[in-house]
Amino acid sequence: MSQHPSDEPWKICYAQLAPKLLLFARQWVASQADAEDVVQNAFIRFWRKRPDAGPEHYPLLYAAVRSTALDLLRADSRRARRETDEARQPWHDHDCWFDASLEQREEAEAIQAALERLPEEQREVLVLKIWSDFTFAQIADVLGASINTVASRYRYAIDALRRILKPAEYERI
């Protein structure tokens, strides 16, 4: 039985996860282009090692994206220190992390701005929980942390987002 090209495991995975992986990578790198480079490198490395990977292996793919992004971040930091580049690009440019219709644009930008204010360890847990639909156990596998730690970071993140996005409602609670 011949296999339709779109049935290849990596293509199925890509179709399901590409935007989510990109959002995950976007937290650490300065631009959408860098985030795509990170996803590309991690994705290729992952699929070369596990050509028949299934959904149960996807947390490892996220872990690979995270590791690749952090390596790029460290390399950029070292390069900036060596080159003393005063015109170094700021931490983030203003690509929108989300696909938003015109009506949703303002809300999407507000959510992105709020996410950028979160500490890194809370933001990555929140992104994995909300937009990748991972369980706390899966997130713990991605981050190499305990489930309790992941759960408490999520609580702090949600609480912080509520404070930032809905300050009036937060004060009433």
Q: Check binding of 148 to another protein (CB under 8 A).
A: yes
User: Which tokens go with 128?
Assistant: 């994995």
DSSP 12: H
From 56-64, 83-91, 101-109, 134-142, give the range in contact with another protein by CB under 8 A: 101-109
Considering beta carbons, is residue 18 or 89 the nearer one to another protein?
18
Which tokens go with 111? 């959510």
- Using alpha carbons, select from 59, 27, 156, 130 the residue that is nearest to residue 148: 156
Candidates 32-40, 58-66, 83-91, 134-142: pick the segment binding another protein (CB under 8 A): 32-40
Binding footprint of another protein on the chain (CB under 8 A) = 10-11, 14, 18-20, 22-23, 32, 36, 39-40, 43-44, 47-48, 51, 95-100, 104, 107-108, 111, 121, 130-131, 145, 148-149, 158, 161-162, 165-166, 169
